[in-house]
Amino acid sequence: MESGSTATARHTCLKLEIPSTDPLFVKGTWFTSHFDLSVTDGLHAWVCNATDEEVQERAAQWDQPVAEYIELAERYLGFQQPGSVYRFVDAGDEHKRLSWTFEKEGTKLEWRWKFQPSVDSRKITAGILDFLMDANIRLSEEVVRKSQSFEKLRVESEKCLEQSERFTNEKMEFESEIYAKFLGVLNSKKAKLRELRDQLSKQEIAGKALVDEEESTDKTESYHTGSDAEESEEEAAKNITNTSKDIPAGRGRGRGRKRVTRK
């Protein structure tokens, strides 16, 4: 059963290319407070086991927390950072010194760690190659899964696109049909409204003609009534005149008085 520190370990492997030097493979195993490094050129191998005390001392020198120090080291030894200058040089007694540079607040800094020769270079080299093979297999499987997932998504996307086009066509056909029906109903309503408007106009014209006719009739009756009255008055005057002519001229106008003789 793995311990807690081993279970939480992270692993990296960097193919480090240094000018005028054969490529190196740097494998790192990173823990919360320390790390282990191994380097091989394919023939020889070197190791560096940074203890908790050493990491804490280095972090204190750089005024950094331990976690931040390890995170920065993992970043530069897990992936070769552009702009950083890497070196792997002799340090005496077959020891090697691995160094890399970085900038902090505008200042170029360099970290260095000393490596000792491995007691079993073949084992270290084989372990790094096994790690690379396992990583390659995992990556290949991941690529296959991603490719299958991509192909599945592509098929689903084509189906969705086809379905969307079908829905679009059906929607357009439905809208055209509904629009045609709507136009039919609208035209029918317009025709009905025109018919009602024409009927209303005819009724208004007929009503206006009737009113005009009644007004004309009332005026005619009033005119005839006035003429009849005038004619009656003229006839009465003529009758009086004729009667006056028929009375004898010698007859007195007043009543005759009788003389009374007194005895």
What percent of the chain shows pLDDT beyond 90? Answer: 44
Residue 192 pLDDT > 50: yes
Contacting residues for 96 by C-beta, under 8 A, at least 6 apart:
39, 46, 88, 89, 90, 114, 115
Question: What are the tens digits of pLDDT across the range 204-262?
Answer: 888 777 777 777 776 655 555 555 555 556 666 666 555 555 545 444 444 444 444 44
Residue with tokens 């190791």: 47
Give the 3-state secondary structure of 108-169: EEEEEEEEEECCCHHHHHHHHHHHHHHHHHHHHHHHHHHHHHHHHHHHHHHHHHHHHHHHHH
- The model's pLDDT over 139-188, given as tens digits with 9 standing for 90+, comes to 899 999 999 999 999 999 998 988 898 889 988 888 888 888 888 888 88
Q: How far is Cα 76 from Cα 241, in angstroms, rounded to an integer? A: 153
What confidence score (pLDDT) does residue 263 get? Answer: 41
**Regarding predicted confidence, which is higher, 210 or 45?**
45
Give me the pLDDT at residue 30, please.
Answer: 96
| Residue of higher predicted confidence among 228 and 49 | 49
Q: What is the mean pLDDT of residues 118-130?
A: 93
Residue 123 has pLDDT above 80, yes or no: yes
Q: What is the pTM (predicted TM-score) of this model?
A: 0.57
The pLDDT of residue 98 is above 50: yes
Beta-sheet strand order (sheet of 24-30): 10-16, 24-30, 35-40, 45-50, 107-117, 95-104, 86-92
